[in-house]
Chain A
């Protein structure tokens, strides 16, 4: 398991042994097989017959007993998934007896969840805006907040078009977008869908992420409009990224967790996700600064950088930009996420 070898994890000695699947102490709490449990009590559909409701309730109890967070949600997602639904089932599906195969599938997936595997990796897929994307450890799982980052970019592009009085009818935006740290491809592919005339250059320093983005792009038939590069932004020159000319928008959800906060992240994250996708260094700004330093040589005039950041970063970024006036970048706006936290920065390149 990858988490065994990660250098950060070795340093975080306080991690419990059960973080590593297959090693260490067995999980606390008895895990009865559904058959054993159901033989003892008659199920809602009659003795010996197991329904989806029974399964959801059963696995919820097992997860709770074993200290698995979001016990009910996890159980609902797994059972719904096996029955071909997303979040919940209609009343017919809830009360129809499950086949032996379905029970087996639920059991297999639930056992992964018992290992604290994130639900998105257990199911192998997750939704982001209108898209269903494949998910695979250790590629970073898109967070719900990031859906708003996509909306911000789309709004900006639509606004730019409306503002330009150059031609009638109102032109359709066709921006060239660069995404830094594409992960599963969530942001890049959402933008391609919402801005049908756009093109995206997506890069990630991890090969697994590049592969997964490519896979998701193919599944969505978007491969013609996306160029995916296996590249580390810290070792990139502007020239390498200007294959389609100057860029309209740079978008990124860069690693922005403060290094000192990494150790307090949930087991699900620490054991399964790529920690390099999270750790932003001492002040969480390492990759943010790298992106902003490179931005002026990549962007068109009035081009934008959209970043998702930690709520502490807006002030820090503003000060940093003021301390680097040669970059000609200004903090145009700070947007809140759906929990009311300052989360998104809109930075613009001024004309010299």
Chain B
């Protein structure tokens, strides 16, 4: 997911377009045991203090169609679309070829966006972004200064020669 787009995303994703794929099956998931490790992984990641998401607030979609699933199907589309119902924020993840990994990553990204949505500038996500932007700008400024210094040095060398 594009980090620079983080700010725009949280506020423009509320208008959710119907996806272009055919055969959508919308499911209100009463998620069974395997999902618990997914959320726990999201919570433990990084040292960021983020709002916890509960599975009951989430709605997950997969492009599986109405087919029988399991052995009887061999579809390769492992895209996960995850919606946080209270805020309306939706995250789409197709980063890997594993459904379980995509589900984990989708929860991590959604958790960041939800945290940003509710906490705004108080969110650790926002603060971390600000810090890294500052560091980038510092780097640029220093690089620019170095270039100017080198330029000046060269000019002075030229003057010395003359």
A residues at B contact (CB < 8 Å): 69-70, 73-74, 77, 86-88, 118-120, 126-130, 140-141, 143-145, 147-148, 151-152, 155, 253, 255-257, 261, 265-266, 268-269, 273, 277-278, 308, 310-311, 335-341, 343
Contact = CB atoms under 8 A, between A and B. Distances in A.
Interface in B22-59: 25, 27, 29-30, 32-34, 36-37
Nearest to A141: B74
B25 A144 contact: no
B98 A143 contact: no
B60 interface: yes
Contacts of B30: 336, 340
A127 B96 contact: yes
A102 B69 CA distance: 34
A309 to B, nearest CB: 8
Candidate in B25, B36, B78 with the most chain A CB atoms within 10 angstroms = B78
B103 interface: yes
B33 A147 contact: no
Given A119-B76, A265-B72, A338-B103, 4 more contacts: A145-B70, A155-B37, A310-B68, A311-B70
B94 A87 contact: yes
B98 A335 contact: no
Interface of B: 25, 27, 29-30, 32-34, 36-37, 60, 62, 64, 68-78, 94-101, 103
A339 B69 contact: yes
A335 B76 contact: no
A26 B60 CA distance: 41
Nearest to B27: A340
A143 B76 contact: no
A74 B76 contact: yes
A268 B32 CA distance: 31
A336 B34 CA distance: 9
Given A88-B94, A148-B34, A148-B100, A261 B72 contact: yes
B150 to A, nearest CB: 29
A143 B30 CA distance: 21
B62 A338 contact: yes
How would you classify the secondary structure of chain A's contact residues: helix, strand, loop or mixed?
loop
Given A87-B96, A119-B76, A335 B32 contact: yes
B70 A143 contact: yes
Contacts of A126: 97
A140 B32 CA distance: 26
Contacts of B94: 87-88
A96 B72 CA distance: 39
A183 B27 CA distance: 31
A70 B72 contact: no
17 contacts: A69-B75, A70-B76, A74-B76, A86-B95, A87-B97, A118-B74, A129-B101, A143-B69, A144-B100, A147-B100, A151-B37, A155-B36, A155-B37, A266-B74, A335-B32, A337-B69, A341-B69
Contacts of A257: 71-72
A118 B73 CA distance: 11
B33 A152 contact: yes
B72 A144 contact: no
A266 B36 CA distance: 33
Candidate in A119, A148, A268 with the most chain B CB atoms within 10 angstroms = A148
Contacts of B64: 339
B96 A86 contact: yes
B98 A147 contact: yes
